A and B are shown apart, each in its own frame.
Chain A
Amino acid sequence: MENKQKKLNNLPNNSHEITIGFGGAAGDGLDKSGNLLARVINRHGLHAISYNSYQSLIRGGHTFLKLRISERKEMCYGDHFKVLLAMNQDSIERHAPAVEPGGVIIFNSDKVTCDSSLLQENVQIVPLSFRKLTSDMGKLIPIMQNTMILGSLLYLVNIDFKTLEQVLGDIFAQKGQEIIDQNTSVARIGYQTTQEHFASAKINIDWNFTHISKPFYSGNSAMALGAVAAGLKFYAAYPMSPATNILHWLVTNSERCGVLVKQAEDEIAVINLAIGAGYAGVRSMCATSGGGFALMTEAIGEAGMFETPVVIINVQRGGPSTGLPTKTEQGDLNQAIGASQGDFPKVILAPKSTTDCYHIVGEALNIAEQYQLPVIILSDLLMGENFETIEPGSWSHEVNINRGDLIEQIPQSMKGKDGFKRYTFTSSGISPRPLIGSEGMAYVTASDDHDEDGVIISDEFTNTAIRRKINEKRMRKLEGVLNELEPPQLEGSEDSEVTLIGWGSTWGVIHEAIEQLEVEGINANQLHFRYLLPFHSKESLQILNKCKKTIVVELNATGQFARHLKAETGFSSTDVILKYDGEPFEPRMITQRVIAILKGEPLDLNVTQSEAREMAYHYIRVHLKDKLRPSNIIQTSQNGYGEPVWVLDLIERNNGELKGKLTIGVETGSTHKWDPSNLEQ
């Protein structure tokens, strides 16, 4: 097993890379530290990709930020880390055991200790006393320990100090020279102390710096920028994680980008505002997450009925209900497909990467206006909120803007007795749409079904013939959309042993899993979908019928895309790899499960040892006031619970004294018993 893990880490990749983990509580400033480090390495020309695992609270809790730094652009944040920056004791306990051999752990020894029994082979620790080392600097705010730790890190991963100095100067420019000097001094103390006393812990990476800086964007900010470049004029939103920072980005840049941004009272108002603006004739968009999207659905159908362009972004998080506000999932595909009552044309797109987020918004705005219908973009928390460097030249300010049949003068053919017909039945299904305020084309759009003029047909006599023809007219527009969209393409060799199928943000992680499988001697290829509705049924089936084995990989509990694929093509995949615990896929998880599937091994849903530990942490927080931590753990079947159980020793955080045993079911995951007295066994 160990050998296999080492083998998996040895990717077919000559690029140097290292992953840093930042552990702490919300409010410890991890994101700021991560951003600072990313800026430093970016100026050297290295790439960075991050994942911040955080909780739904403002202070406290546990946050773990990973930053993968590399020479080549990586497509996901990976599945291992070599350096741990531990801002509190909790981070040591949770993450020290996962630091790779040869790695290092840096912490402020005033408040954190690290028991060497927790560490893997050849992992070194760098304890730095913030209080002692900065004693001659007067009173410093506690969060500056992070700056010291960052200084130390730079030495250990072989990145010079000068760039950090420049970045601190830029970041704190508005706060004045004193703050800049203070931060620089503290960082230098971290750097020099480590150089003098912990030189043996240095991880010698022989970086090839290009010194070409790159944009550092999240999917959300990429969508905001992409929308502006594609002519967005109106944006409405109600705050909802993880979509909120699209709102923040657009508000911040509203004036200089010429976009009117309106925060509304709820998501129902949001979508109706966006539809009102879209009707009037501006490019209009809104974003939310699953719960807000649910509130919007009635009006999405209205946009279909009005034939009004509007773009709705759903940055998915864990559902159902309030669900997991700060965790990622691909659980809203069914909701998007089924959004709103009745039949109407809608388009669903899913960007495959952060870089793609920029492009897909422009596509969505074009489709919405050309075909006069609602376009839904399915993003997710992982892609939406996490930052990464973007290859220079991936994005251009020049974006193709196609507004479709938007007219300011009545068409020649409609001049005369009958006048303007807003919903003229055409072979494409598209009818000319006036810019509201234009002379000679006043019409009423109605959420009731209507005739070519827009006059409702639902009141005095529901005209079945008109109803049939306008229904067909609306739906016909999807044929045009489908013809315009590029069909999916197989990536990799055509005769691979197994094809991994995905949609949306998993493109990068599947890509890396395929590289790992290559090392394992398994040739896999990839079929990824950006366009979910309308669906390229014919083209997809042609590809799928040639595949040997197919596995759909998606981040939800029921295989929503696998079912959609079957509904659209009749094709059933060989198997699925699903994940629905709140955390994203890491490549090794996919790799290992693919190997197991190919060997015919059944899916094991039992509680693993590390999951039992996580459950114990939850129990300790809720019932034992966070005073204990899990230590030894054994599995036994000799018990009265009707299932094997994990038995965990819970020990005092400070002195390691055994305080009791916690019993957790291996199959059900139930916390069967906390026994503070029975210290035998």
Chain B
Amino acid sequence: MSTANTITEKTFKTRVVEVSPDWCPGCGDFGVLSSLKKATLEKEIKSHEMLVVSGIGCSSNLPGYVNAYGIHSLHGRSLPTATGAKLANHNLKVVVTGGDGDGFGIGVGHFIHAMRRNLDLTYVVMDNEIYGLTTGQASPTTMKDHKTKTTPRGNVEQPINPLMLALVSGATFVARAFSGQPAHLSSLIEQGIAHKGFAFIDVFSPCVTYNKLNTYAWFKERIYKLEDEAPDRDPADFSDAMSTAMEFDDRIPIGLVYKVEKPTYEDTEPVLLNGPLIKQPLGIKKELFDQLLLETM
């Protein structure tokens, strides 16, 4: 029995029920899974104190491979589901995972609203610029002119820039990583979990089966680490964060793009001042009940 313990490398490998990922060999999501495990290990989070919530898609299978509470919800609905669970028990460490179709396509409305609420959630998107589980259709981050099953003459639509969308929507922690560099990714997830507020981490996680354009090699050629090339950047500078987020051509920055401290939704919700909802008493006292009736007479 390991469920009550801190998540260790061992417990991750041998869950109570051992389930191995069903991802294609070489899938970028393996790097994200191992980085998430490492980050929670570093933070010494106990398995029962953590909740991992996902939507639907290859990457959304991730909660099934982590020894923690998990919700494998509907396509696009991970963020509202996680929000409900977090508000019910804000002592839980809640990590939300999913893909670009799940988060920026069908779930984009929730993405924007979750960020402007600044809930204390960590949202890790495995962005492979394609719909993988449905066998290779264009996604909201598929690059212009990219030929996919549903864009046989090349994609005519402009891709979403998730980082800029996050910045203008009010995320208080915005970062980008590459699953080919798991140590760097793991450190960002760790920072994201430590951040009080909505942390968004967009992770380039190559699909080796359906995206032959945005490959490991393609990313390796272009990415650079912000902390290496711009060590003096102020991550709280919004304008600088926006220009950094805009850079997506021959050179693509990864690392912490933006971070600012603001009160979280949980901090400002008066009902939660009395502790987690799940611990609060049920029902109504007679005095208040009588008062509520009297007010209508």
Contact = CB atoms under 8 A, between A and B. Distances in A.
Chain B binds chain A:
yes
A70 B46 CA distance: 63
Contact of B87 (A234, A256, A299): A234
A437 B61 contact: no
Interface in B29-47: 46-47
Interface string A436-452: 11111111111110000
Interface string B128-159: 00000000000000000000000000000000
Contacts of B48: 437-442
Interface stretch (A263-271, A513-521, A593-601): A263-271
B68 interface: yes
Interface in A82-102: none
A253 B84 contact: no
B88 A255 contact: no
Contacts, number: 217
Interface stretch (B219-227, B239-247, B271-279): B271-279
B92 interface: yes
Interface string B54-85: 00100001011011111111100100111111
B10 interface: no
Interface stretch (A214-222, A315-323, A345-353): A214-222
A196 interface: no
Given A273-B83, A274-B84, A283 B1 contact: no
Contacts of A399: 283
Nearest to B67: A442
B284 A229 contact: yes
Given A266-B109, A277-B85, A447-B56, A455 B64 contact: yes
A253 B292 CA distance: 9
B3 A277 contact: no
A453 to B, nearest CB: 5
A236 interface: yes
Nearest to B63: A444
Nearest to B296: A216
A256 B280 CA distance: 13
A284 B278 CA distance: 11
A447 B71 CA distance: 8
A282 B92 contact: no
A298 interface: yes
Interface in B92-113: 92, 109-110, 112-113
Interface stretch (B15-23, B184-192, B197-205): B15-23
Size bracket, chain B contacts: 35 or more
B84 A230 contact: no
Nearest to A218: B296
A258 B3 contact: no
Contact of B297 (A42, A264, A416): A42
A291 interface: no
Contacts of B88: 233-234, 276-278, 280-282, 284, 436
Given A253-B292, A272-B77, A419 B19 contact: no
Contacts of B168: none
Contact of A444 (B49, B72, B87, B285): B72
Contacts of A216: 296-297
A233 B72 contact: no
A435 interface: yes
B223 to A, nearest CB: 31
B4 A260 contact: no
Interface in A278-293: 278-284
A262 interface: yes
B217 interface: no
A20 interface: no
B245 to A, nearest CB: 23
Contacts of B92: 280, 436-437
Contact of A258 (B66, B112, B281, B289): B281
A203 interface: no
A468 B5 CA distance: 34
Contacts of B297: 39, 42-43, 213-216
A415 B288 CA distance: 43
A631 interface: no
Contacts of B288: 256-257, 397
Nearest to B265: A262
A308 B261 CA distance: 35
B270 interface: yes
A231 interface: yes
Interface of A: 39, 42-43, 213-217, 225, 228-231, 233-234, 236, 253-260, 262, 264-266, 268-270, 272-284, 298-299, 302, 306, 395, 397-399, 401, 415-416, 418-420, 435-448, 453, 455-456, 459-460
4 A-B pairs with least C-beta separation = A276-B84, A231-B282, A444-B70, A397-B289
Given A234-B87, A272-B74, A284-B88, 19 more contacts: A217-B296, A229-B284, A258-B271, A276-B71, A276-B82, A279-B81, A284-B84, A302-B73, A419-B1, A419-B3, A435-B278, A437-B278, A440-B4, A444-B72, A446-B64, A448-B72, A453-B17, A455-B64, A456-B64
Interface of B: 1, 3-4, 16-17, 19, 22, 46-49, 51-53, 56, 61, 63-64, 66-74, 77, 80-89, 91-92, 109-110, 112-113, 269-272, 274, 277-278, 280-286, 288-290, 292-293, 296-297
21 contacts: A216-B296, A255-B271, A260-B269, A260-B272, A264-B80, A269-B83, A275-B73, A276-B53, A277-B277, A280-B278, A401-B283, A415-B1, A419-B17, A436-B51, A440-B3, A440-B4, A446-B71, A455-B17, A456-B61, A456-B64, A456-B72
